[in-house]
Amino acid sequence: MDIKQLHYFAEVAKHKNFTKASQVLFVSQPSISKMIKSLEDELGVTLLDRSEREVILTDTGQLVYEKTLKILQLLEEIPSSVNELVHVQRGKVKMGILPTISALLFPKIVAGFKKTYPMIEIQMVEYTAKQVEMQIEQGNIDFGVTVLPVNTRLYQPVSLLAEELVVIVSAHHWLAGKTSVSLVELQHEPFILFTKEFVLHDIVWQACSQAGFQPKVAHMTSLWDFCCEMVASQLGVSLIPRSMANRLHHLSVHIVSISNPKIAWELALIFPRDKYLSYASRELIAYILANPPHQAG
């Protein structure tokens, strides 16, 4: 069974006449008759009652005709549907974001995108930076926001926000009156670290090791708010991105720059190098790159 068979059959059924169908299709009557006969043979039924002057649909012919009209209608809709999708009027995107950081940076970007493309559904799911890579690899999300470095053989990273890590201390800490500190000066301080699921844990641990010491871990957490509250309660110091530290006005904490060494923290958007990205995903990525987070409010 092919589309041409169904198309010829539908025209004959519509006009109830082979001659009229031939004129509409610009095909000879014998060719149409042969095509419909092959369809009947394939289905093992009689579709048309040819005994009368006017062609009449049999019971099975009526059923096939109704189904055929639906099929032909769907075929007609394909070009316009594809055109609509290609021009990003609709679609669905599933994006992985980092807890707290991305939530603070991306709402305005998404809101702006939705104004332009209201029919595109965007689902944002929170993961740690390490989980974002795994979720993309498993196909659970289309792309995501994470912290560099990443496996550049598998993922294409695009930098969104580059800044430094800073130390946050209690307002009563001896560092509270300083503007900067060398990392090695913190070797005897209790650290509030993030758990090993966070790239930030690895960055801080590596920086301390290169400075000649291992951080004295007072507590490890996966919660940003809890980490900052513990620092404010004088239970330890922590190293966090400056953009996050700048939002802690409600807590009794003080921000101290790290003079030596500078510890980079880079937020990046990543997507798979060798997997298909939907038109909607590509358009959202392009929009994010044109409106990077540090410019979004």
SS3 43: helix
SS3 241: strand
The predicted pLDDT at position 103 comes to 64
Residue 87 reports pLDDT greater than 70: no
CATH superfamily, region 91-159+270-295 = Periplasmic binding protein-like II (3.40.190.10)
**How many DSSP H helices and E strands does the chain contain?**
11, 12
H or E element, residue 228: helix 224-232
Give one word for 100, left, alpha or beta, with left for phi > 0 and alpha for psi -120 to 50. Answer: left
What is the CATH class of 3-85?
mainly alpha
pTM for the model stands at: 0.64
Question: Could you tell me the residue ranges of all domains in the chain?
Answer: 3-85, 91-159+270-295, 161-265
Residue 294 reports pLDDT greater than 70: no
User: Rounded to whole angstroms, how far apart are CA atoms 149 and 200?
Assistant: 11
User: Rounded to whole angstroms, how far apart are CA atoms 158 and 80?
Assistant: 33
Amino acid at 187: Q
User: Rounded to whole angstroms, how far apart are CA atoms 59 and 48?
Assistant: 9
Q: Name which residue leads in pLDDT, 261 or 108.
A: 261
Give burial (CB, 10 Å; 0-12/13-18/19+) of 266. Answer: middle
Q: Name which residue leads in pLDDT, 186 or 276.
A: 186
For domain 161-265, give the CATH number: 3.40.190.290
Mean pLDDT value across the chain: 88
pLDDT in tens, 175-188: 998 999 999 999 99
Pair of tokens at residue 78: 């394909």
What percent of the chain shows pLDDT beyond 90? Answer: 47
H or E element, residue 190: strand 190-194
Distances (CA, A) of 43 to 9, 31, 39, 55, 70: 13, 19, 6, 19, 18
Q: If you compute the radius of gyration of the chain from its CA atoms, what whole number of angstroms results?
A: 32
> Which distant-in-sequence residues (6+ apart) come within 8 Å of 277 by Cβ?
142, 143, 271, 285
pLDDT in tens, 135-184: 998 888 999 999 888 889 999 998 888 889 999 999 999 999 899 999 99
- Mean pLDDT computed over 251-275: 90
User: Rounded to whole angstroms, how far apart are CA atoms 269 and 60?
Assistant: 56
User: Rounded to whole angstroms, how far apart are CA atoms 212 and 152?
Assistant: 29
Do 91-159+270-295 and 161-265 agree at the fold level? yes
